[in-house]
């Protein structure tokens, strides 16, 4: 039987390096949206909440993923948000209508609560400023509030709010999706480019150690895509460090092969944005390189119809609560691999989002559980630290609406210092197992440690509170390493993590 298996060959060499994996590629996102903050990470009175109302059960799951950065407070929410509403005594905070999502925001949870939470889960903030309804003055003030030690109006205000030490937030988003007509304060590329340039400049005058992310397109399908990136960078090149990309995928037509081929589309998107960044670099004769922040990526479509029926002006409704299935896990694994294959230029990425809202973690009043997509994200974050190797995959392809899609997506991450090598691989073939071969003779002294694998008979299988382990990875006996050559059987429709240690 074995010789009838379809085959894939992976070629890697420790000297053929794509780039160091910046741990921020495993970032995520918490927006004031639906039940992400309220009932997600913060639920005073809940049996799992600590004395500050922070959900400890959720923190444990986030720690399991080891999330290095979390983008906050939005998303669309940030474009009409006054950060001052969410600081100071809670009893004085205004309850306001929240126009992005048509709800009521109580402001019970704000910047300082978020920073406490971030500290407890061991993550760093990526803070977005409002460049929709506000501008450079607001951007200046919030950096002063967060990063100046004391002795100025805003730093002293922070101290008055009970936060003695500065937050020292290093990474700042210059607004959110400013190309989108739905965005409050939506602007043309030139208007936004100039605003981003001036905001970035003044924020860096307050704290020269910060890094900034300018808004790229909110999706590849935006009519302004390409021109938007070019114009924004031409205006703001000198004060911008990263350009953002956002993209969500869905399986509206219930066409799994095409759905799984979306990693090809993601790869093309990254390559195209990089071309524009490098074009502007050339035109400017600049020595500086703009890298990418893919700060919203995920599957998002399951909840679309449900959300159209939502009542307006309520507090934290069940919104964007996609229940992810097994095929979503496969695509998220493939997208993670795609990001890692661009580790030289994609330095930041945020799986959007983290809890309840299009998220790997779900909560109810009685518990928290892992959605299917939790697993590839967690595996990559935990085992994918090191150097991304140029991973050549020789395998059959299938025709998709995004062009030829390989049946196997794969990337290898090498951690020379700690003697670890990990190969991530997705078999997208829905009918057949694939034999994977890797020549590892360049990795002398490495042994096979484990092969973790996730598959399911039912592509639509989900995890729920009642059945949280319906889809979960297992330790799998499908790999053998002999004379430096690895042979693995990747089961049809499977996510695989093959680990070697020295």
Name the residues that contact ligand AHR, by CB under 6 A. 31, 74-76, 176-177, 218, 246, 296, 352-353
Query: 177 an active-site residue?
Result: yes
Nearest CB to ligand AHR, comparing residues 101 and 443:
101
Calculate ∠ Cα 228-233-238, nearest 5°: 165
* Least spacing, CB of residue 346 vs ligand AHR, in Å: 18
Selecting among 98, 124, 296, 327, the annotated active-site residue is 296
Nearest CB to ligand AHR, comparing residues 31 and 84:
31
Distance separating alpha carbons of residues 396 and 436, to the nearest angstrom: 12
* Least spacing, CB of residue 355 vs ligand AHR, in Å: 12
Residue 339 vs residues 173, 250, 266, 287, 444: alpha-carbon distances, Å = 20, 18, 9, 24, 28
Nearest CB to ligand AHR, comparing residues 22 and 177:
177
For residues 373 and 362, the answer to whether their CB atoms sit within 8 Å is: no
- The pair of structure tokens assigned to 150 is 């004391």
Nearest CB to ligand AHR, comparing residues 176 and 291:
176
- What residue number has its CB nearest to ligand AHR? 75
How many CA atoms within 13 Å lie on the side-chain side of 463? 24
Nearest CB to ligand AHR, comparing residues 21 and 139:
139
* Least spacing, CB of residue 398 vs ligand AHR, in Å: 30
Distance separating alpha carbons of residues 72 and 42, to the nearest angstrom: 14
Distance separating alpha carbons of residues 371 and 368, to the nearest angstrom: 10
* Least spacing, CB of residue 431 vs ligand AHR, in Å: 34
Selecting among 39, 177, 321, 327, the annotated active-site residue is 177
Distance separating alpha carbons of residues 372 and 4, to the nearest angstrom: 31
- The pair of structure tokens assigned to 398 is 């299938």
For residues 121 and 59, the answer to whether their CB atoms sit within 8 Å is: yes
* Least spacing, CB of residue 16 vs ligand AHR, in Å: 36
For residues 321 and 303, the answer to whether their CB atoms sit within 8 Å is: yes
Residue 341 vs residues 167, 270, 345: alpha-carbon distances, Å = 33, 11, 9
Query: 84 an active-site residue?
Result: no
Nearest CB to ligand AHR, comparing residues 113 and 177:
177
* Least spacing, CB of residue 327 vs ligand AHR, in Å: 21
Q: Enumerate helices (H) and strands (E) in the chain, giving the number of each.
A: 11, 26
| Residues with catalytic roles | 177, 296
């Amino acid at each position: 039987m074995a010789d009838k298996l379809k085959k894939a060959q992976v070629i890697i060499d420790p000297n053929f390096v794509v780039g160091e994996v910046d741990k921020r590629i495993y970032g995520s996102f918490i927006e004031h949206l639906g039940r992400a903050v309220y009932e997600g990470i913060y639920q005073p009175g809940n049996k799992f909440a600590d004395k500050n109302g922070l959900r400890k059960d959720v923190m444990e799951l986030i720690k399991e993923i080891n999330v290095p950065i979390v983008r906050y407070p939005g998303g669309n929410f940030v474009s009409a948000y006054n950060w001052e509403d969410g600081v100071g005594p809670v009893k004085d905070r205004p309850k306001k209508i929240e126009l992005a999502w048509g709800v009521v925001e109580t402001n019970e949870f704000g910047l300082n609560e978020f920073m406490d939470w971030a500290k407890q889960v061991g993550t760093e903030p990526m803070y977005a400023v409002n460049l929709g309804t506000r501008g450079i003055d607001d951007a200046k003030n919030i950096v002063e509030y967060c990063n100046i030690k004391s002795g100025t109006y805003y730093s002293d205000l922070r101290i008055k709010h009970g936060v003695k030490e500065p937050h020292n937030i290093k990474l700042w988003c210059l607004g959110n999706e400013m190309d989108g007509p739905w965005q409050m304060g939506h602007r043309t590329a030139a208007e936004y480019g100039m605003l981003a340039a001036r905001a970035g400049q003044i924020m860096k005058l307050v704290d020269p150690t910060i890094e900034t992310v300018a808004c790229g397109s909110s999706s590849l399908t935006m009519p302004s895509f390409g021109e938007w990136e070019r114009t924004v960078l031409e205006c703001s090149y000198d004060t911008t460090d990263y350009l953002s990309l956002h993209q969500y995928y869905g399986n509206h037509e219930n066409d799994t092969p095409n759905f799984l081929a979306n990693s090809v589309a993601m790869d093309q998107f990254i390559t195209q944005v990089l071309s524009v960044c490098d074009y502007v670099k050339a035109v400017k004769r600049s020595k500086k390189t703009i890298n990418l922040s893919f700060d919203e990526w995920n599957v998002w479509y399951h909840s679309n119809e449900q959300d159209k029926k939502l009542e307006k002006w309520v507090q934290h409704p069940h919104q964007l609560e996609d229940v992810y299935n097994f095929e979503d896990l496969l695509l998220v694994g493939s997208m993670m691999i795609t990001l890692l294959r661009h580790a030289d230029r994609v330095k930041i990425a945020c799986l959007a989002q983290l809890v309840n809202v299009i998220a790997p973690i779900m909560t109810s009043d009685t518990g928290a559980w892992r959605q299917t997509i939790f697993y590839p994200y967690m595996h990559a974050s935990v085992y994918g630290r090191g150097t991304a190797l140029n991973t050549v995959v020789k395998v059959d392809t299938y025709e998709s609406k995004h062009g030829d899609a390989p049946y196997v997506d794969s990337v290898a991450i090498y951690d020379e210092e700690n003697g670890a090598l990990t190969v991530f691989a997705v078999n997208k073939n829905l009918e057949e197992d694939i034999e994977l071969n890797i020549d590892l003779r360049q990795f002398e002294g490495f042994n096979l440690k484990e092969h973790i694998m996730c598959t399911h008979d039912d592509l639509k299988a989900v995890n729920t509170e009642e059945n949280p382990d319906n889809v979960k990875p297992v330790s799998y006996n499908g790999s053998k390493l002999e004379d430096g050559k690895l042979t693995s059987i990747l089961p049809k429709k499977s996510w695989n993590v093959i680990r070697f240690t020295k």
